[in-house]
Chains A and B, each alone.
Chain A
Amino acid sequence: MSKSTEENTPELRPHVYDGIQEYDQKLPNWWLFTFYIAIAFFVIYWLAYYQFQLIPTDEERMHAAMAQIDAARLKQLESLDDAKLWAMAKDVKAIESGKATYAASCMACHGPTLAGGPGLPGLSLADKVWKHGGQPSEILKVIRKGSPDVSKGMPAWEPQLGLPRVLEVLAYVLSHHQEGETFTVDPNDKPTWMAAAPATGAQ
């Protein structure tokens, strides 16, 4: 070993464990810097987050984001009236994609022709009898939020599909109707196939 190495030999600490001793060496500076940066970060974060509440908490951020989404949705909904919805029902592209969503999500209950079908639980969407109102905005509400009667099984679709796809489905349904047609509202509306034979012992 050359002379300079000996001069630089670090101090040997006095303690011995299992015959193992250690030198008192400096940490690499870059390592120390990461440590100092962590300390600085802690102080800044502690002050900003816990003491002065400068940084919003995750909960606040989430609520803010939700409020933003709600506001956007509300704005979107507010701009929708029956006339606009009818106008949308003439948009071929919206009807096309609405049809695809209908096939995947709605057909299992309301049938391939929208008229329900033997053994299908869904009400007919093609006839002129509506259970919860036949204005586009009323139909939209049922698709968005589900049937007001939760025992019937029509779920809220907006959380699953999102408003744009719900609107497309509505456009598809409305494309089977005429603007201004007369309809009746019957709170006891039943699937068409059952209308002939009165329900036996149903709840």
Chain B
Amino acid sequence: MSRSLPNLISVTTIAPDGSRRTVQPADVRGRYTFWRRVTAVLLLAVYILLPWIPINGSPAVFLDVAHRRFHILGFVLAAEDLWLGFFLVTGVAFSLFYVSAVMGRVWCGWTCPYTVFLEHVYRRVERWIDGDGPARRRLEEAPLTVGKVLRRVFKHGIYLLLSAFIAHVFLSYFVSLRQLYAMMQGPPSQHWLAFGVVAFLTASLYFAFSWFREQFCIILCPYGRLQSALTDDHTVNVGYDKTRGEPRGKVNTPGAGDCINCQRCVQVCPTGIDIRNGLQLECIGCAACVDACDDIMAKVGRKPGLIRHDSLAAFKGGRTKWVRPRTVLYGLLLVCGMIVCSLSLLAVKPVGVSLNRLTGAPYFVNNGEIRNQFQLRLVNKRPQPAVYRVALAPDAPEGLRLTDAADAVQVPALGEVVKTVVLTLPKDQFRGPIKTQLSISTEPDGRTQVARELEFLGPDPRLQNDEYLNPQNYLR
């Protein structure tokens, strides 16, 4: 091999002069590769089909930004429920923490959409057009000929088509399929925003998967960069059994270890490292090298598992400790996050209510009555029309009343209504600001009840006469 072996000093994919060195991973077969492909196909199906599967009359996942309604597996959330996103993000983060502490970067190698698209879509296309690893390397180094140019144009054309397709799949999470189809038929001038998003995404995806590739996992991805803080000696990672493998040597060399230095593990690695140098930040845990080495071991009649999933402690001859402060803590955080996330999801009411004072003065005094005016916004998150009854809380002071309490407010399915709510109180009954509640309940069953605090304001009763000007009052 004319190319030097990957080492621990430099990143393989970055040449000493800063230019990029491409990786052309060799073909690999084996159980991990098989299951990884199965996982990828399932995930791809999920990505593509989620907007097509109807649940409760709307797609399984439909983030309807235009109407600010977010349909997630039958739940409907409104913009006001965005705070749930905090628990979603922390929940995902804690799960990833836990998984990393136990099993390293399995997420990266198996389920990350970036890897799924790169390894199982774009690299498959490349394999189909340009041949296996060595053939691709030869083609890369070959001078430009008509044939090479045609082949490149063909490959990049397919990359672009794929990128455009993925961009449209992405968009289908945010606009309805029917609208997406209509937009695809019409000229871009009718929907510049959507067109711009798709164009930008297509360009980004094309760039990422045709050129940038593993650079993202190695240098940019924040989760990748966090790894070293999340894992320890007992984390199970893909690793090379030094005790068994060293010293490397040909099959029949006396005193040699099990590694025959065939470098299959290096050739198949999509991030271009030599796992025999130990765990490195580039490794995405894809297990391609495990399959590659097991294959060699079978061929030379040795036990598989020279490269395998194990912890650093176990590779050193110890035992993997599964229960340790880190896993317990991350596990607790994970459970906490899940409980809080489910509780907050259950706390989401099917009606969104907000109550604000109407613009203008905080209160009005007319005809012997004090009046406060509010604006009530009712958001129906159900896909059916609903009727809400608006009433004052039963403990509201006597005399305080809603001018049209009898009214039931009709709100169309997934719609919202902004309603004026006027409260009055005879002036002589006002003793100071009143804190009370407005209650909203569904008609006719009253199943959902929501209460909103409000403060009824009026002129300070102490200022109703000139007593406050009398200095005697303050000298007592």
Contact = CB atoms under 8 A, between A and B. Distances in A.
A84 to B, nearest CB: 27
B422 A121 contact: yes
A159 B418 CA distance: 14
22 contacts: A4-B3, A4-B4, A5-B7, A8-B10, A10-B10, A25-B14, A26-B16, A26-B18, A28-B11, A28-B18, A105-B418, A108-B419, A112-B404, A119-B424, A153-B373, A155-B358, A155-B360, A155-B373, A156-B360, A160-B375, A199-B367, A200-B368
A202 B16 contact: no
Interface string B10-30: 110010111110000000000
Given A1-B4, A201-B368, A104 B16 contact: no
B77 to A, nearest CB: 24
A2 interface: yes
B364 interface: yes
Interface string A1-29: 11011001110000000000001011111
Interface string A87-120: 0000000000000000011111101100000011
Contacts of B3: 4
Interface of A: 1-2, 4-5, 8-10, 23, 25-32, 104-109, 111-112, 119-121, 146, 150-153, 155-156, 159-160, 190-191, 194, 199-203
B419 A105 contact: yes
Contacts of A29: 18-20
Given A108-B373, A108-B402, A199-B367, 9 more contacts: A2-B5, A23-B9, A28-B11, A28-B14, A28-B20, A108-B403, A108-B419, A156-B360, A202-B366
A99 B219 CA distance: 60
B359 A159 contact: yes
Given A10-B10, A28-B215, A29-B19, A104 B360 contact: no
Nearest to A5: B4
A9 B361 contact: no
Interface in B393-434: 401-404, 407, 409, 417-422, 424
B64 interface: no
A44 B417 CA distance: 48
Q: Most chain-A CB neighbours within 10 Å: which of B18, B371, B403?
A: B403
Contacts of A146: 360
A188 B173 CA distance: 58
Nearest to B407: A107
Given A10-B9, A109-B420, A152 B19 contact: no
B18 A104 contact: no
A194 B4 contact: no
B369 interface: yes
Nearest to B401: A119
Nearest to A201: B368
A160 B359 contact: yes
B20 A2 contact: no
B454 interface: no
B365 interface: yes
Contacts of B409: 104
Contact of B417 (A1, A104, A112): A104
A150 B385 CA distance: 37
Contacts of A105: 418-420
Contacts of A150: 360-361
A104 B20 contact: no
B422 A109 contact: yes
A89 B18 CA distance: 74
Contacts of B375: 160
A154 B375 CA distance: 13
Given A4-B4, A26-B18, A151 B361 contact: yes
A87 to B, nearest CB: 28
Nearest to A194: B367
Contacts of A160: 359, 375, 418
Given A153-B373, A159-B359, A191 B367 contact: yes
Given A2-B4, A121-B364, A108 B20 contact: no
Nearest to B359: A155
Given A2-B5, A151-B364, A153-B364, A106 B371 contact: no
A150 to B, nearest CB: 6
Given A32-B18, A109-B422, A202 B4 contact: no
B371 A121 contact: yes
Nearest to B366: A121
Contact of B364 (A111, A152, A159): A152
A153 B10 contact: no
A25 to B, nearest CB: 7
- Pairs A-B, 7 closest by C-beta atoms: A26-B18, A153-B364, A5-B4, A108-B422, A29-B18, A108-B420, A4-B4
Nearest to B402: A108
A20 B278 CA distance: 19
Q: Most chain-A CB neighbours within 10 Å: which of B11, B17, B420?
A: B420
Contacts of A119: 369, 401, 403, 424
Nearest to B363: A153
Contacts of B4: 1-2, 4-5, 8
Nearest to A109: B422
A202 B407 CA distance: 28
B16 A8 contact: yes
A121 B424 contact: yes
A153 B418 contact: no
A155 B422 CA distance: 12
A153 B366 contact: yes
Contact of B365 (A9, A23, A203): A203
A104 B420 contact: yes
B213 to A, nearest CB: 11
Q: Most chain-B CB neighbours within 10 Å: which of A1, A104, A156, A199?
A: A104
Contacts of B366: 121, 151-153, 202-203
A197 to B, nearest CB: 10
A9 B422 CA distance: 79
B367 A121 contact: yes
A26 B17 CA distance: 6
